[in-house]
Amino acid sequence: MKKIARILLFISIISSQAFAQTPVQANGALSVVNGQIVNQNGIAPQLRGISFSWSLWQGRKYYNPAVLDWLVNDFKVSIVRAAMGVEPAHGYIQEPEAQTQLEETVVDEAIKQGIYVLIDWHDHHSNLHLAQSKTFFSEMAKRYTGVPNVVYEIWNEPWGAIPWDTVKNYALQVIPEIRKYDPNNLIIVGSPHWDQDVDVVAGDPITGFKNIAYSFHFYASDPNHQEKLRAKADLALKKGLPLIVTEWGVGESNGNGKFDQTLVKTWFDWMEKNKLSWTNWNITDKQETTALLMSGAPVNGAWTEEQLTPAGQYIREKLRELNK
């Protein structure tokens, strides 16, 4: 009996040590192999988490270490996205130092907590701000080179009419700026039409650089984001295009509209089936469907269930269920 007890104790210790591993300790540096984002063991890790809102307006006040810690310890996120505003008033174009500081605050705390973090250039017209983007990502690559937690997302949702040739040309100028200092970390490239036309990208992907993947976005309850949009992603995946869902919401593409749990489940099951990593939009107390927080929710985390919107309650439940 004592021998059995010792064996059970040993198993318990090993299990607790494995459970205590952070997502980055468990998965290591991410890379792209055979058209899929994989971890250090060559396995798709399926990271799941939350996107901070624009680092402007209502979302800005949540860019602090306490919120990041709460997302890790309570929501159980394995990845977050720091969506740095670029073009609007008080964004990076006007206030580069202030915006860079906000971004670094989130990134540094994510590293401390052992989760992955997307450094998101949250700009719909990135081709018009190429010089600023190159400067920013050069600085980020110098600061975080070789840090396995960090993923660079170089263009959020190219404006609807911007073609793939323009997006690709931009990427081919920004990627070398990152690779000067960080030769290996994962880089996420935007896709045309608000990160939806991944089927177009699959026909003419970027070559000549390793560890490049592509963003795919959807809003689960939007009438225009259903079977036809999934078919685009299915085609891209079939052609071997590595995808990550850097943004999705339970509502519609304007941030509001319905929260249709049947449609959300369909999309959720699709992501699980394809082992796609994702970050849900978004940490803000703005009064809209996709906001995770009720108006006036504390700026330092520690949110009660009543301070979460229906979207917030749903996403928290799913993350705690799946990110065990």
Q: Is residue 34 part of a domain?
A: no
Q: Is residue 6 part of a domain?
A: no
Residue 223: give its domain's CATH number: 3.20.20.80
Residue 90's CB is within 10 A of a number of other CB atoms, namely: 14
E-strand stretches of the chain: 31-33, 36-38, 48-52, 79-85, 116-122, 150-153, 187-189, 212-219, 243-249, 278-283
CB 154 within 8 A of CB 136: no
Average the pLDDT over each of 8-17, 214-223, 247-256 and give the range with the smallest value.
Answer: 8-17
Structure tokens at 70: 């709460």
Which residue segment(s) compose the domain that 294 sits in? 46-322
Instruction: Count structural domains, the chain.
Output: 1
Q: Is residue 4 part of a domain?
A: no
Name the pTM for this structure.
0.94
Which residues does the annotation mark as catalytic? 157, 247
Structure tokens at 12: 């318990």
Distances (CA, A) of 112 to 35, 117, 150, 293, 317: 30, 11, 12, 24, 24
pLDDT at 8 over 80: no
Q: Is residue 3 part of a domain?
A: no
The dihedrals phi and psi of 220, each to the nearest 5 degrees, come to: -60, -30
Q: Is residue 177 part of a domain?
A: yes
pLDDT in tens, 295-320: 999 999 999 999 999 999 999 999 99
pLDDT at 287 over 70: yes
For the stretch 173-190, what's the b/e string if a residue is b when 16 or more beta carbons lie within 10 angstroms of its beta carbon?
ebbebbbebbeebbbbbb
pLDDT in tens, 222-267: 999 999 999 999 999 999 999 999 999 999 999 999 999 999 999 9
pLDDT at 1 over 80: no
Give the mean pLDDT of 78-82. Answer: 99
Predicted local distance difference test score (pLDDT) of residue 291? 98
Give the mean pLDDT of 43-66. Answer: 98
What mean pLDDT is reported for the chain? 94
Q: Is residue 8 part of a domain?
A: no
Q: Is residue 197 part of a domain?
A: yes
pLDDT at 12 over 70: no
Residues 264-270: contacts with CB under 8 Å, at least 24 apart: 264/220, 264/221, 264/314, 266/220, 267/218, 267/220, 267/230, 268/220, 268/318, 270/230
Q: Is residue 65 part of a domain?
A: yes
Predicted local distance difference test score (pLDDT) of residue 19? 53
